[in-house]
Amino acid sequence: MLVWRDADALDRTLTSTDWTGAEVIVAATPGDASLVSVRTAHRGIIWIEAPRGRGTQMNAGAEAASGRWLIFLHADTRLPRDWRNAIEAAENDPGVSLGCFRFALDSRSLFARAIEAGVRLRVRLFGLPYGDQALFVRRDVFRAIGGYADVPIMEDVDLVRRLRARGRLFRSPLPAVTSARRWEEDGWIRRTVRHLALIARYLTGTPPERLVRHDPARNQTGMYL
């Protein structure tokens, strides 16, 4: 699980999910004092520290894990109640290398429904889920491809494309619910258009090092999104 300066979101995610039988690892940045109370409330969790960066933190968490499957979960995304069913279904298909849950936002806005529909279409047509769909990956395949690349943005897209070269994508109909806070703060249309522009430029060859300059979420104080 990835977190950067968002203890409240992390606490809600940890509290709302039944983790029985799971090895829960939180990868935080060094010296994050905001997590003291969360650490105290959730003592059964493995806490590790890694330099700031999605790929860096998630690689550190994966290195500490021992299970057959790895679930990469952002602090503001909550797993569905029956999340284990998705892992079991993927495990039973040896041709599957990774899976994802259905994207959902915790908002009643019609904009949220439109974005969810757009994500479903993207995943169906292009097999390209993002990290906020709680990607789950076979641990041996993840290690075989070298894990997340050391890039400042689009690390989840890069990972998915490399994993799909090793096997199929399993799409679970169960919803992973992500906070709509950033869409509400930035503006539904503005944030969506910016994301579409970033992925279009990435897929047409713009290096991540140039793309990151156009993504405020990676350059401001706050939670990774």
Tokens of 176: 């992973």
Answer whether residue 190 shows pLDDT above 90. yes
| Domain-located, residue 91 | yes
| Domain-located, residue 24 | yes
Task: Say if residues 69 and 139 touch (Cβ distance below 8 Å).
Answer: yes
Average per-residue pLDDT in the chain? 91
Taking only the tens place, the pLDDT of each residue in 10-28 is 888 999 999 999 999 998 8
| Domain-located, residue 140 | yes
CATH of the domain at 187: 3.90.550.10
| Domain-located, residue 186 | yes
| Domain-located, residue 11 | yes
Q: Which residues contact 97 (CB under 8 A, 6 or more apart)?
A: 137, 138, 141, 163, 164, 166, 167, 168, 169
Give the domain range for residue 25: 7-218
For residues 100 and 123, what is the distance between their CA atoms, to the nearest angstrom?
Answer: 9
| Domain-located, residue 142 | yes
Q: What is the pTM of this model?
A: 0.91
| Domain-located, residue 197 | yes
| Domain-located, residue 135 | yes
Overall domain count for the chain: 1
For residues 156 and 141, what is the distance between their CA atoms, to the nearest angstrom?
Answer: 15
Taking only the tens place, the pLDDT of each residue in 50-93 is 988 889 999 999 999 999 999 999 989 999 999 999 999 999 99
